[in-house]
């Protein structure tokens, strides 16, 4: 009996010992698996990979919402009308066109986070990356910081080595401008020139940095303005020295023989259509579309088509945004930038490039051109009149800036187009404007000659004279939907003026966006902008 007890106890105790041994107290360290790894503060991983991540962050600037929406919907170029049950979207588009945004606007927060996340990645690379990557990282950081400064009027800064509980310091707009300039100058000095190879514009180049510097200087008056007194600008706001620097920078870009302006309207569309990365002679800084060979993931451009085209068209879009009648009417009827038929595109889809107005067409399965109907079965005729609050399906003229690539057989599309950030024509127009603002003409190029060079390419008659007041309209015609309209209207002092479907002048404080509420509450160093 006793023996038995001892035996059993022994067995039991050994089992117990085994179990206890199996699970000695754990340290509870977390195990991370697969594609994920714990970031170690000092090491930044492979530097090439990180450069890819920074390039990839610029994809956030591409898309119908956020950055692009604030740059375009706030102007006379674009609006997002509510169409009955469609497109109310919580008033998100309407509020931008009406300048009725506040710190709670949903796209504001996404825009802030998106650009700042790119800014952080760029800073990590500048401060901790490989020396070879530094000039590119500085260009990218300047590019990101410019957007933050431009939209929000303040730029927060987090050093790469900062611990997780560090609250970022905030640079006011005027200080941020100087800080960005340092990066830009370093980038210009350190970056190679654009070699003119296919896809070269997808990387940071000397010309891209020069372009960025020119754009910053052109808008310097805006950035150096007293935020509490956002009035218009006088001629004196633009320093002749800065204008001459712009002219020098643009001339430096022009010195690269890879950049030139074509002679026909078709060459204008070479800058945007599906093979723009190979055909265009103007691309200075871009981001590649489908399957593009570049660092980081690709950015599609089908949104640029779909945001306007109707459900029943051959690119079945989402029937949303339209341009304003005033903007559409600012073009000469023969302007190739307004409407051009494109080979391999128009006869496949029924679309022209440019603006889509009037009866819309497509091709049926037998290749016969037919009228497109709306969803209630009546012919789809895009009309210039549009109401921000109450529009029916066909109201408003649509845009077709990035014609997609179609497979003729099954009409499926791909979107290999590069999205254009910086373009040579813009550089030339900056030079023209700098001359008109007190800079000295060089190389025999005058404001008029530059403008007429672009007008000739567009197929419109030459202007006989160009005043500063003509430049805004000309920039609009050349650069619409290139995400510069808001900056242009602010610089020309007309941003707050009424436009189609915004009948009242908006408050001067609207030239900067509010800091999103969530950001203000996360960082005590951020003070809400004047007027909000």
Partner 1 sequence: MNFKIVKSTFVGLLLGLLVVNAQAQNKTVTGKVLDAKDGSPIAAASVVVKGASVGTKTTGDGSFAITIPSTVTKLVISSVGYSSREVDASGNVSVSLNQTSNQLNEVVVVGYGTKKVKDATGSVVSLGEKSFNKGVIASPEELLQGRTAGVNVTSNSGEPGGAINVTIRGTSSVRSNNNPLYVVDGVPLYGGGMTGSGLTVEGSTTARNPLSFINPNDIENISILKDASSAAIYGARGANGVVLITTKSGKGKPSLTFNMTSSVATTAARYDLASPEEFMHGINKTLADAGIDVTGVGGNDKGFNTNWQDQVFQTAVSNSYNLAWGYSNAKTSLKLNGSYDNQEGIVRTQGLKRVTFGLKYANQLTSRLKLDVTVNQSQVNNSYAQVTNDAGYQGSLIGAMIGANPTFPVYNPNGTWFDNQDGNRNPVAILEGYKDNDTYNKLLTNISLSYKVTNELTYKLIYGIENGATERYSFADPRLGSSYSQGTINVQGINYVGSELLNHGRAVRQNLNQNSSVIEHTLNYDKTFKNGNSLQALAAFSYQKTTDYYRGQQAWGATGTSSMKTDYNAYTGGKTSTTGDSTQVELQSYFSRVNYTMKDKYIFSALARIDGSSKLSAGHKYGTFPAFGFKWRVLEEKFAQKTLGKIFSNFDARLNYGSTGNQEFPAYSSLALAQSQLNGSVNVITNSNPNLKWETTTTTGAGIDFTMFNGRLNGTVDYFNKSTQDLLFLISYPQPAASADRWVNLPGNVVNKGWEFSLDYQLVRPAYKGAFGWDVAYNMSFLNNNVTGFGSTVVNTGQVNGQGLSGAYAQTIRDGSPLFTFVMPTFLRFDAYGNGVYSNGAKDMLQGSALPNFNAGLTNSFSYKKLTASVFFNAVTGFYVYNNTANALLLKGSLKTAHNVTRDVIYSIENSINPGNVSSRFLEKGDYVRLANASIAYAVTVKPGSFIKGLNLTLSGQNLALFTKYSGLDPEVNVDHSINGVPSRGYDYTATPRARTITFGINARF
Q: Which of residues 4-33 bind partner 1 (CB under 8 A)?
A: 4-5, 8, 12, 15-16, 19-20, 22-23, 25-26, 28-33
Q: What residues form DSSP beta bridges with 358?
A: 382
- What's the alpha-carbon Rg for the chain, to the nearest Å? 27
* Contact between residue 461 and residue 455 where contact means Cβ atoms under 8 Å apart: yes
* Contact between residue 486 and residue 72 where contact means Cβ atoms under 8 Å apart: yes
List the x/- string, 72-91, binding to partner 1 by CB under 8 A. ----------xxxxxxxxxx
φ/ψ of 475, rounded to 5, equals: -65, -40
State which of positions 363-422 bind partner 1 (CB under 8 A).
Answer: 375-378, 389-392, 410, 412-415
Residue 54 or 214: the one with the smaller Cβ distance to partner 1 is 54
State which of positions 109-128 bind partner 1 (CB under 8 A).
Answer: 109, 112-113, 116-117, 119-121, 123
State which of positions 138-177 bind partner 1 (CB under 8 A).
Answer: 156-158, 164-165, 167-168
Q: What residues form DSSP beta bridges with 172?
A: 154
Residue 443 or 527: the one with the smaller Cβ distance to partner 1 is 527
Q: Which stretch binds partner 1 (CB under 8 A): 218-226, 254-262, 288-296, 497-505?
A: 288-296
Size of the site for partner 1 (CB under 8 A): 90
Among 2, 3, 21, 34, binds partner 1 (CB under 8 A): 34
Q: Which stretch binds partner 1 (CB under 8 A): 132-140, 290-298, 355-363, 428-436?
A: 290-298
Q: Would you tell me how many other CB atoms lie within 10 Å of the CB of residue 10?
A: 10
Residue 57 or 450: the one with the smaller Cβ distance to partner 1 is 57
Polymer length of the chain: 532
- Rounded Cα distance between 479 and 337, Å, is 10
Q: Which stretch binds partner 1 (CB under 8 A): 107-115, 245-253, 433-441, 489-497?
A: 107-115
Residue 229 or 376: the one with the smaller Cβ distance to partner 1 is 376
Please state the closest distance from residue 25 (CB atom) to partner 1, in A.
7
Nearest to residue 348, comparing CAs of 275, 416, 407?
Answer: 407
DSSP conformational letter for 355: E
φ/ψ of 354, rounded to 5, equals: 100, -125
State which of positions 217-276 bind partner 1 (CB under 8 A).
Answer: none
Q: Which stretch binds partner 1 (CB under 8 A): 102-110, 439-447, 490-498, 501-509?
A: 102-110
End-to-end CA distance of the chain: 89
Q: Which stretch binds partner 1 (CB under 8 A): 39-47, 424-432, 458-466, 488-496?
A: 39-47
* Interaction of residue 3 with partner 1, rule CB under 8 A: no
Residue 86 or 341: the one with the smaller Cβ distance to partner 1 is 86
Q: What residues form DSSP beta bridges with 499?
A: 502
SS3 string, 73-129, reads CCCCCCECCCECCECCHHHHHHHHHCCCCCCCCHHHHHHHHHHHHHHHHHHHHHHHC
- Rounded Cα distance between 44 and 59, Å, is 21
């Amino acid at each position: 009996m006793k023996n038995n007890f001892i035996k059993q106890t022994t067995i039991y105790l050994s089992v117990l010992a085994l179990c206890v041994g199996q699970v000695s107290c754990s340290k509870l360290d977390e195990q991370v698996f697969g594609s994920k790894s714990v970031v170690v503060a000092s090491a930044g991983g492979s530097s090439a990979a990180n450069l890819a991540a920074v390039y990839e962050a610029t994809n956030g600037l591409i898309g119908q919402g956020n950055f692009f929406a604030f740059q375009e919907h706030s102007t006379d170029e674009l609006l997002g009308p509510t169409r009955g049950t469609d497109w109310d979207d919580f008033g998100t588009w309407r509020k931008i066109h009406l300048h009725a945004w506040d710190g709670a606007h949903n796209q504001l927060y996404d825009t802030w986070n998106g650009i700042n996340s790119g800014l952080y990645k760029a800073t990590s690379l500048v401060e901790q990356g490989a020396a070879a990557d530094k000039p590119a990282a500085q260009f990218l950081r300047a590019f990101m910081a410019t957007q933050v400064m431009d939209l929000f009027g303040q730029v927060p800064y987090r050093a790469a080595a900062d611990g997780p509980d560090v609250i970022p310091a905030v640079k006011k707009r005027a200080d941020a401008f100087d800080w960005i300039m340092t990066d830009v100058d370093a980038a210009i000095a350190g970056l190679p020139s654009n070699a003119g190879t296919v896809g070269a514009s997808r990387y940071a180049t000397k010309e891209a940095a020069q372009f960025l510097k020119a754009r910053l200087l052109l808008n310097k008056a805006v950035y150096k303005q007293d935020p509490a007194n956002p009035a218009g600008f006088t001629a004196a706001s633009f320093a002749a020295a800065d204008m001459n620097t712009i002219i020098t920078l643009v001339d430096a870009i022009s010195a690269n023989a890879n950049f030139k302006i074509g002679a026909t309207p078709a060459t204008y569309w070479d800058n945007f259509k599906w093979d723009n990365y190979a055909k265009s002679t103007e691309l200075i800084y871009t981001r590649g579309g489908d399957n593009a060979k570049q660092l980081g993931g690709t950015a599609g451009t089908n949104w640029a088509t779909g945001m306007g085209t109707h459900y029943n068209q051959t690119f079945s879009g989402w029937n949303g945004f339209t341009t304003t009648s005033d903007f559409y009417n600012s073009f000469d009827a023969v302007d190739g930038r307004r409407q051009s038929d494109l080979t391999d595109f128009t006869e496949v889809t029924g679309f022209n490039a440019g603006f889509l107005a009037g009866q819309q067409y497509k091709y049926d399965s037998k290749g016969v051109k037919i009228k497109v109907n709306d969803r209630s079965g009546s012919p789809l005729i895009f009309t210039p009149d549009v109401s921000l609050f109450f529009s029916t399906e066909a109201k408003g003229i649509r845009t077709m800036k990035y014609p997609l690539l179609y497979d003729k057989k099954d009409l499926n599309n791909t979107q290999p187009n590069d999205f254009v950030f910086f373009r040579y024509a813009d550089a030339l127009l900056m030079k023209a404007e700098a001359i008109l603002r007190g800079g000295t003409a060089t190389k025999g190029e005058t404001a008029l000659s530059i403008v007429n060079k672009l007008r000739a390419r567009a197929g419109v008659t030459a202007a006989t004279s160009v005043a500063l007041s003509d430049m805004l309209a000309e920039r609009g015609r050349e650069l619409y939907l290139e995400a510069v309209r808001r900056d242009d209207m602010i610089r020309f002092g007309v941003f707050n003026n009424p436009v189609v479907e915004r009948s009242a002048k908006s408050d001067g404080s609207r030239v900067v966006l509010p800091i999103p509420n969530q950001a203000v509450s996360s960082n005590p160093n951020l003070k809400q902008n004047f007027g909000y």
